[in-house]
Structure 1
């Protein structure tokens, strides 16, 4: 059976499991999830459609801190720091800054697909080595790297 927004029930279970695994790691603080109405209002007021995997994550955790003090800060639609479509650090159209890595590299999601990338802000480059098929793959990789 396919759940709303094109995500299967299994994928929704995967999102909840990732959040539960992250919550067990020291230095992780996940904000409560945003409601469907809050996420829809962000999309409507900004004229965008968020990637399904990122939208699904926002329903579980509307931003937060992963692996702090040296970890990743994720942005939300309700809880600061807030997502901003006109973020001055966005490298080009079609991307949304959704977080910051400890070295100030940016976590971006595509506004035209499901891709998630880590953008080297200092070098001004997209690194293919840190390109993921969707936001959940990014979270799984971060969990694997930071919890070892």
Structure 2
């Protein structure tokens, strides 16, 4: 079930650039993934997965999100994360990973070159991250 808030963001994204949304996954498959991987994904990201299991935004130079069924699949042991407190759920075109903090709603970008997460690239939840994509990608809204 997709909230009204997420529907509005999806509609806005569709207007603004080339997007590839993948087939949705189910709540049951997300629960199985979390149980098998011993992780808890952020609730707003789980809501996204029930709309699009991964996807690509603002092609060709945007971001890619990972899913639990469609490749690339979330790898909870991805080595591009700063430490075990994070799960990589996507990547910017630059290669910098998009992270979710384990057992938290927070989403962040890991600046691999600098070896840190910038304060202005930490988002309270996945919805806040989606709302900031224009600024993050430097494409203006």
Listed as ranges, the matches of 1:23-38 within 5 Å are 23-38=14-29
Match of 1:77?
Answer: 68
Equivalent pairs counted in the alignment come to: 139
- Residues in 2 aligned to 1:63 and 1:39: alpha-carbon distance in whole angstroms: 12
> Quick check: 1:61 aligned with 2:52?
yes
Match of 1:95?
Answer: 86
Match of 2:106?
Answer: 115
- Residues in 2 aligned to 1:40 and 1:135: alpha-carbon distance in whole angstroms: 18
2:128 is aligned, of 119, 123, 137, to 137
Gaps in structure 2 of 5+ consecutive residues: none
Match of 1:126?
Answer: 117
- Residues in 2 aligned to 1:26 and 1:135: alpha-carbon distance in whole angstroms: 19
- Per the TM alignment, residue 143 of structure 1 is displaced from its structure 2 partner at its CA by 4.5
Answer whether contact 1:71 1:101 (CA < 8 A) is retained.
yes
- Residues in 2 aligned to 1:100 and 1:73: alpha-carbon distance in whole angstroms: 5
TM-score computed with the length of structure 2 as normaliser: 0.90
Superposed CA deviations along residues 66-113 of structure 1, whole A, max 9, x for unmatched, are 001001011000111110101121211121111111211111011121
Gaps in structure 1 of 5+ consecutive residues: 5-10
- Per the TM alignment, residue 26 of structure 1 is displaced from its structure 2 partner at its CA by 2.5
Which portions of structure 1, spanning 4 or more consecutive aligned residues, are displaced by more than 4 angstroms? Answer: none
